[in-house]
Amino acid sequence: MIQSPLAQPRASILGHGIAAISGVAITKLFMLRSDFDGLRWIAGAAACAVSSALMTLTNTVHPPGGATALLAAVDPTISALGWIFVPLILLGSALMLGVALLVNNIQRQYPVYWWTPRDVGKQIKSDVETGQAENKDSPEIETEIRRHSVPHRYIITINPEHVTLPQRFVLGQEESGVLEIIRDRLRDMAKERHGSQPASSLDTNDTIIGHE
Number of residues written out for the chain: 212
* 3-class SS of residue 83: helix
Q: Could you report the per-residue pLDDT of 19-33, keeping only the tens digit for each?
A: 999 999 999 999 999
- The pLDDT, as a whole number, for residue 154 is 58
Does residue 208 carry a pLDDT above 70? no
The domain limits of the chain are 5-103, 120-211
Q: What CA–CA distances, in Å, run from 122 to 118, 130, 187?
A: 10, 13, 31
| Four-residue CA torsion sign, 108, 111, 117, 123 | negative
| Distance separating alpha carbons of residues 44 and 76, to the nearest angstrom | 12
Q: Could you report the per-residue pLDDT of 138-185, keeping only the tens digit for each?
A: 555 555 545 555 445 557 788 887 788 777 777 777 888 888 888 888
Mean pLDDT in residue range 203-210: 44
Mean pLDDT in residue range 60-79: 93
Max CA-CA distance within the chain? 82
Bridge-based pairing of strands 163-165 and 157-158 is antiparallel
Please list, in sequence order, all residues whose beta carbon lies within 8 angstroms of the beta carbon of residue 51, skipping any fewer than 6 positions away: 18, 19, 22, 23, 65, 66, 68, 69
> Position 106: which residue type?
I
Mean pLDDT in residue range 83-96: 96
pTM listed for this prediction: 0.56
Element (H, E) at 165: strand 163-165
Please list, in sequence order, all residues whose beta carbon lies within 8 angstroms of the beta carbon of residue 20, skipping any fewer than 6 positions away: 68, 69, 72, 85, 86, 89, 90
Q: Which residues of 15-54 are buried (b: 16+ CB within 10 A; e: fewer)?
A: bbbbbbbbbbbbbbebbeeeebeeebeebbebbbebbbeb
